């Protein structure tokens, strides 16, 4: 029976928020209006200052990505691929990720990214590290252009349900799977998995992890934590 490591993406496998940077990239090239990128930039600043929780920022993210509506999907993918080259070259993906992918595969696990970030962007970046599957905010396309997004994963319950559906469709027992995440947005799918790791968690997830006796790990200890679970 197949097993998986279900992992969050931004600030878990990456050091920064990839979709936020991608919006700036697209605005600079005239692909989206600058006001959308400015809005998400201000959101990021408020989060860093502790004025906005990550869960609350998801509502801001929903509004910001409307800037992509109407964009030609081919152009969006080309921009994502170019951004991915820069993102990876700038060491924004943690160095442990290729080892995590390789070790997971050797132990019979798929690495499945579960993220609120844009699916087509994470797929472009993750391909360079060998990421096998992405469950994210997936675009809807009509007549070759982005018409909107499936925002189901932009909630705690939505992320958990996405993992449960994936496991059912791929004949996996969630009790055999491992969840890795860094914020309360990940709490639902972490609880659904048989084993959970809070990676460099924010205050709220750390408190939950301590109550539930979940492993808490950082960049230097994540592979050790996973090796104890294989």
Mean pLDDT of the 150-167 span? 97
Q: 198-209, pLDDT tens digit by residue?
A: 999 999 999 999
Q: 167-177, pLDDT tens digit by residue?
A: 999 999 999 99
Query: Where are the domains positioned within the chain?
Result: 3-227
Separation CA 105–CA 5 (nearest Å): 10
What is the structure's pLDDT at 161?
98
Q: 48-80, pLDDT tens digit by residue?
A: 898 999 999 999 999 999 999 999 999 999 999
Percent of the chain with pLDDT over 70: 100
Angle at CA of residue 15, ends 75 and 177, nearest 5°: 95
Q: 131 and 104 in contact (C-beta within 8 Å)?
A: no
Give the H/E segment covering residue 3: strand 3-7
What is the structure's pLDDT at 132?
82
What is the structure's pLDDT at 1?
83
Closest by CA to 157, choosing from 149, 147, 165, is 165
Mean pLDDT of the 141-160 span? 97
What fold, for 3-227? Rossmann fold (3.40.50)
Separation CA 174–CA 100 (nearest Å): 19
pTM of the model: 0.96
């Amino acid at each position: 029976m197949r097993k998986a490591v279900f992992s969050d993406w931004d600030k878990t496998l990456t050091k920064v928020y990839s979709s936020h940077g991608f919006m700036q990239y697209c605005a600079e090239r005239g692909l989206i209006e600058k006001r959308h990128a400015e809005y998400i930039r201000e959101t990021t600043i408020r989060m860093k200052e502790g004025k906005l929780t990550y869960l609350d920022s998801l509502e801001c993210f929903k509004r910001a990505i409307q800037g992509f509506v109407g964009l030609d999907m081919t152009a969006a993918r080309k921009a994502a691929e170019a951004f991915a080259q820069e993102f990876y070259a700038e060491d924004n993906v943690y160095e442990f990720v290729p080892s995590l992918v390789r070790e997971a595969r050797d132990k019979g696990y798929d690495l499945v990214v579960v993220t609120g970030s844009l699916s087509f962007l994470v797929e472009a970046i993750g391909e360079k590290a060998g990421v096998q599957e992405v469950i994210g905010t997936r675009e809807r396309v009509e007549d070759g252009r982005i018409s909107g997004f499936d925002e189901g994963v932009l909630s705690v319950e939505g992320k958990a349900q996405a993992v449960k559906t994936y496991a059912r469709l791929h004949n996996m027992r969630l009790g055999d799977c491992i969840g890795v995440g860094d914020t309360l947005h990940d709490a639902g799918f972490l609880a659904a998995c048989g084993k959970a790791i809070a990676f460099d968690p924010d205050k709220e997830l750390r408190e939950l992890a301590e109550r539930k006796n979940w492993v808490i790990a950082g960049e230097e200890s994540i592979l050790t934590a996973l090796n104890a679970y294989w």
